[in-house]
């Protein structure tokens, strides 16, 4: 059974710092991997989607990498801002239309 783990569970950093969020999964037979953002009381917003054949994807200050063989993905946020404060969720798609989510990393950027 696929299990997705996100470390750390919570992270607090000062504004302007670069940071890395980690995601690991137990079964490397995935179709793709997505990073989502969730604000308190809100739904999920897709940030980046990496296909299994890709190594990384970039969108603005965000960069996500994927190492399928080792079962790892990272989300890099450059020059963090208070508006980046949210919970970040990693999800793997095993190709059966099921997204298996990690528990998320709650990120706080302090002004």
Partner 1 sequence: DAGVIQSPRHEVTEMGQEVTLRCKPISGHDYLFWYRQTMMRGLELLIYFNNNVPIDDSGMPEDRFSAKMPNASFSTLKIQPSEPRDSAVYFCASSPVQGGDGYTFGSGTRLTVV
The residues that touch partner 1, with contacts defined as CB under 8 A, are 31-32, 34, 36, 41-46, 49, 89, 91, 93, 95-104
Tokens of 83: 């508006």
β-pair partners for 77: 19, 62
Of the pair 34, 73, the CB lying nearest partner 1 is at 34
Taking the complex as a whole, the smallest distance from the CB of residue 18 to partner 1 amounts, in Å, to: 27
Coil, strand, or helix at residue 84? helix
Identity of the residue, 80 or 93, whose beta carbon is nearer to partner 1 in the bound complex: 93
- What minimum distance in Å lies between the beta carbon of 43 and partner 1? 4
Least distance from partner 1 to the Cβ atom of residue 81, Å:
23
Q: Residue 48 Cβ, how far from partner 1 at the closest point, in Å?
A: 12
Contacts of range 16-19, beta carbons closer than 8 Å, 24 or more positions apart: 16/79, 16/80, 17/79, 17/80, 18/76, 18/77, 18/78, 18/79, 18/80, 19/76, 19/77, 19/80, 19/107
CA atoms within 13 A of residue 59's CA, in its CB half-sphere:
10
> Which of 9/79 has CB closer to partner 1?
9
Nearer to partner 1, 8 or 95 (CB): 95
């Amino acid at each position: 059974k696929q299990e997705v783990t996100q470390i750390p569970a919570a992270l607090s950093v000062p504004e302007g710092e670069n940071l890395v969020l980690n995601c690991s999964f137990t079964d490397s037979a995935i179709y793709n991997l997505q990073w989502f953002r969730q604000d308190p009381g809100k739904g999920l917003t897709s940030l980046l989607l990496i296909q299994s054949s890709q190594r990384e994807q970039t969108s603005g200050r965000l960069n996500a990498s994927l190492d399928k063989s080792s079962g790892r993905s990272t989300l890099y946020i450059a020059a963090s801002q208070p508006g980046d404060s949210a919970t970040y969720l990693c999800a793997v798609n095993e190709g059966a239309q099921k997204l298996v989510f990690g528990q998320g990393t709650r990120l706080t950027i302090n002004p």
